[in-house]
Copies of this chain bind each other. A is one copy, B any other.
Amino acid sequence: ERFKKFFNDKGVNAFKFRVGSECGRGKDEWEGRTEEIVKTINHSLDKSITKMVDANSCYSPAQAIEVGKLLEDNNVVHFEEPCPYWKPDQTKLVTDALKIDVTGGEQDCDLRIWKDMVKRKIVNIFQPDVMYMGGLTKALKVAKIIEKGGFICTPHTANLSLVTVCTMHFLKAIDNAGPYLEFSIEGEDYYPWQQNLFLNDPFNLEDGKVTIKDLPGWGVEINPNWLDNAEYKVSEIE
């Protein structure tokens, strides 16, 4: 229902949802509901909507391939992190077995790992996180590695903080940007801390698109009230 509302009100035409539980060793995020949720979303949403799924390092290769077939049958085109991210050989089995895109890379920041993942074609779409990467400079290097491998780059951005702001600029700066900006729709219940973080809302959606501002810096101003209410860590000498 939230997906429908975003489609109708904001023109968003691609949605991602969660199946596996985080590093869940095969456990569903909502026990026994993976098949039901995949089928229901396929039937309920407009045919023009792109459907994506995130498994959060949950499955064994055999399980992931089984889930992947279900996704194929239900018009899901993007299967994110099907197997434990630290076991790329498992992910590779899934990528090779499925027709839909298997994706991943949010966890990785070491350029050696990135080169290896791209060279061995571990996934079809690569998803660096500009913050986990340690910033734009290194993230741009990774985008180049991905581009040289002939792949597109659809960055990981888990919430509406600076990670999404910086990634908007990042996507504009690279030549192999994927078609979507990951844009969290979780509200105050899930991410209470992100409420009113910025003064001028950088995330206003029109026709399913954000506008990248050309204001100084990242084009955002942190809300001073947010800062006043924040928890601070200080160092003291006793």
Interface, chain A (partner B; CB < 8 A): 86, 88, 110-113, 116, 230-238
Contacts and interface: CB of A to CB of B under 8 A. Distances in A.
A12 B116 CA distance: 42
A228 to B, nearest CB: 8
Contacts of A116: 112, 116
A231 B110 CA distance: 32
Contacts of A230: 238
Nearest to A238: B232
Contacts of A86: 110-112
What's the dominant secondary structure at chain A's contact region?
Answer: mixed
A236 B237 CA distance: 14
A225 to B, nearest CB: 13
B238 A236 contact: no
Given A86-B110, A110-B110, A233-B233, 15 more contacts: A86-B111, A88-B112, A110-B113, A112-B113, A112-B116, A116-B116, A231-B236, A231-B237, A232-B237, A232-B238, A233-B234, A233-B235, A233-B236, A234-B234, A234-B236
9 contacts: A86-B110, A86-B111, A86-B112, A112-B113, A230-B238, A232-B236, A233-B233, A233-B235, A234-B234
Contacts of A88: 112
Contacts of A231: 235-238
A186 to B, nearest CB: 24
A88 B230 CA distance: 43
Nearest to A231: B237
Among A86, A112, A231, which residue has the most Cβ atoms of chain B within 10 A?
A112
Nearest to A117: B112
A86 B115 CA distance: 12
A75 B235 CA distance: 48
A130 to B, nearest CB: 19
A231 B230 CA distance: 24
A113 B113 contact: yes
